[in-house]
Amino acid sequence: MAVKHAVSPLAPKTTPTLPRIAGVKLAAAQSGVRYKDRDDVMLAVVPAGATIAGVLTRSKCSSAPVDWCRKNLARGKVRAIVVNAGNANAFTGKLGDKAVEESTRAIAQALGCPRNEVFMASTGVIGQPLDWEKIAAVVPAMIKSAREDSWSAAAGAIMTTDTFPKLATRQAKIGERTVTINGFLKGSGMIAPDMATMLAFVFTDAKVPGAVLQKLVADAADKSLNCVTVDGDTSTSDTLLMVATGAARHAPIEEADDPVLVDFKRALDEVLIDLAQLLARDGEGATKFVTINVGGASSNGAARKIGLSVANSPLVKTAIAGEDANWGRIVMAVGKSGERADRDKLKISIGGVKITDGGQVVPNYDETPVAKHIKGTDIVIDIDLGIGRGRATVWTCDLTHGYIDINGSYRS
């Protein structure tokens, strides 16, 4: 039985309505794998000839669906993606492999396509065998009911402790042609991606070869989904898959650095950044959304590592939850990151108010405006290392007792 949680106070006021993408059909169904009286399986069916790329968790205890995706992504071909919520099918041994085999076989047979063109992702409790027969039982009805406008239903079906569905869309120009990029994802806890995120699915009508799509997706993930954290824990199931149907009639694309892709890259970055921020806004028990801007680092990678060190610090996150403007905890987190830092060059600001300079607190520092900022729901921390040109932005949330409440009852 799913434990219901109030919608996050940081949830957006409106949910975008995603436009149709020719040939992409989606469906949701109630399989009863774990939850009762709610959709818990999503199916996306795409046209023959569609390409796929993805980024997967680096966890050494990855799930059976992740292993299946990793095995078949290099081929770059896809006809369907199936996702279930409530059971991660992770640490389930040969039974887990069997569940993936039979689930994908049921869809492949129904569509008349090779099984290695059916991708799978699962999310939920670790260590419990997945009853694939319940998924296979709903496949025929899902294929029959799949529609081009079922984005919201699909996004809702893959949620676990999420309190709202997460969707984003953008349009871009490739030459004179306009293409669409739609994406949705789930994630609320166990969020410290070491690749992408929990489960994210992106679709476009652009015609992009698999190898080029792979480079685009990996680069975009590094600027978005690899820059968000809720609790510092990397999931066994993290999966980002992107499908290009090729329906748009634009000039052929052969290289990821083709100038014609500049606007497409911008749109893809924006979709994934939107989704990454929604993860932090739905962090388990979150009451504050935190943006950490890091500049002046020795490299972009160093800046991101420093940002994540601050974002993952329980002391920083609980101070923000308690509305305590304790900037010393930020200094601590910068210092423990392992990246280059110079005490006398480090500048820290909160809410636009400079706090440190020259190796100490600024003269006549007044905490009043900082304390007021910390009492809001959107917190901004700026860190300047003063030693290079590396930059990164990281997103996170505060750490409250609500996180304990949710995860203490997760299996109930």
Among residues 123, 161, 180, 197, the one annotated as catalytic is 197
407 a known binding residue? yes
Hey, what are 121's tokens? Answer: 């992702």
57 a known binding residue? no
Q: Is 291 considered catalytic here?
A: no
Contacts (Cβ under 8 Å, ≥6 apart) of 412: 1, 3
> Is the Cβ–Cβ distance between 240 and 217 less than 8 Å?
yes
412 a known binding residue? yes
284 a known binding residue? yes
Distance between CA atoms of residues 137 and 132, nearest Å: 9
Residue 118 three-state SS = strand
Distance between CA atoms of residues 16 and 309, nearest Å: 32
DSSP string for 167-217 = EEEEEEEETTEEEEEEEEEE-SSS---SSS-SEEEEEE-S---HHHHHHHH
Distance between CA atoms of residues 342 and 316, nearest Å: 20
What single DSSP character describes residue 407? H
188 a known binding residue? no
368 a known binding residue? no
Q: Which residues are annotated as a binding site?
A: 160, 186, 197, 284, 407, 412
Q: Which residues are annotated as a binding site for substrate?
A: 160, 186, 197, 284, 407, 412
Report, as residue numbers or ranges, the catalytic residues.
197
